[in-house]
Amino acid sequence: GLPPEVRIYEVGPRDGLQNEKATVPVEVKAEFVHRLRAAGLGTVEATSFVHPKWVPQLADAEQLMPLLGDLPPGLRLPVLVPNSRGLERALAHGCRDVAVFASATESFAKANLNRTLQESLAMFEPVVSRAKAEGQWVRGYVSMCFGDPWEGAVPPAQVVRVCRALLEMGCDELSLGDTIGVATPGHVSALLAGLDGAGVPVDRIAVHFHDTYGQALSNTLTALRHGVTTVDASAGGLGGCPYAKSATGNLATEDLVWMLQGLGITTGVDLTRLAAVSGWMADRLGRPSPSRTVRALTGA
Ligand code: HMG
Ligand code: MG
């Protein structure tokens, strides 16, 4: 069966904008977050406290946070933190929700974090325990869960190991990233079955699909049938990942909401309003949204 309700974890301001060529002024980023909230998104990943040289598009995290205003209870504005330095910066800005980001493969750990997989897990361990001690909600991303541009197909057992390590550290939620968008429904089923077999509770799992090969919605539906109820998406289909060459096209939030609405699944999102937000952002970026739902709804 399918769940009656799905929680959408919006990543546009972070995963979207980090990979756009155009630099967006910090006031526009703040306005983007406000408009996404107003369209009904309860979780909006706002930015990253990473090294500014690694992700120049998000170098204004310190300027952005104060512009986002007070957080009403129930609203989440998570931020990415790769290490203790990043966590300190996030705590200094009143963040309540943080995310570390691991990789299922050695190659991407090296490219994205300048560490071996084991070294990167060792880097996250004190970050997660300190964050939990500070009362933070902590997400653990796992990138390249299905395929890797250097290593090819990724065996589920390899992903399961990293997921278990993150849960043992104390992460509240795992997000399974198909960073280069190569997953297909059978592979999604195999990974979710592997996680289930390893005792990873499905209510701790989120899915993060990219639409590179047009499979993001099929993969999402497969995950919902396995009991997953948290789905990552990016308004207007913005962005990818700057350290994975072939990573284009996060699943567009509008495409996701269109499917969920058709299935009678509640999301709390006002689709017309959201598509208008993405149309507005597309104008700021000077390029049309790649989302077919946005184009259909806005006539762009
Ligand atoms: P490193 O060069 O190994 O850093 O980078 P280091 O630990 O050797 O430190 C070097 C210098 O950087 C030091 O300064 C540190 O203080 C400073 P110095 O003493 O030389 O003056 N530094 C920092 N400054 C500000 N904030 C920090 C920070 N950390 C160190 N947090 C590092 C290691 C992890 C920092 C670097 O590799 C990095 O920032 N990587 C982030 C890359 C990134 O954000 N990638 C995109 C994430 S998206 C993703 O992973 C996929 C996902 O979206 C899911 C999907 O789409 O599938 C999640
Ligand atoms: Mg992504």
Q: pLDDT tens-digit profile of 208-254? A: 999 999 999 999 999 999 999 999 999 999 985 555 554 568 999 99
Q: Which residues pair with 233 in a beta bridge?
A: 10
Rg (CA), the chain: 17
Ligand 1: residues with CB < 6 A are 15, 48-51, 54-55, 82-83, 85-86, 89, 101, 112-114, 141, 143, 177, 179, 208, 241, 243
pLDDT at residue number 69: 87
Flag whether the ipTM exceeds 0.85.
yes
Q: What share of the chain is helix, strand, coil (3-state, %, to 5)?
A: 45, 15, 35
Return the C-alpha torsion angle 90, 92, 97, 102, nearest 10: 30
pLDDT, the chain, mean: 95
pLDDT by 10-residue block (mean), the chain, 300 residues: 97 93 92 97 98 95 94 91 98 97 98 97 98 98 97 97 98 97 97 98 98 96 98 92 62 98 98 98 90 91
Burial 136-166 (b: 16+ CB within 10 A, else e): bbbbbbbbbbbbbbeeeebebebbbbbbebb
Kindly give the distance from the C-alpha atom of residue 109 to the centroid of ligand 2, in angstroms, as a whole number.
15
Q: Name which residue sits closest to atom 48 of ligand 1, judged by CA.
A: 241
Kindly give the distance from the C-alpha atom of residue 114 to the centroid of ligand 1, in angstroms, as a whole number.
8
Kindly give the distance from the C-alpha atom of residue 33 to the centroid of ligand 1, in angstroms, as a whole number.
23
Return the C-alpha torsion angle 279, 285, 291, 294, nearest 10: 0
Q: Name which residue sits closest to atom 12 of ligand 1, judged by CA.
A: 51
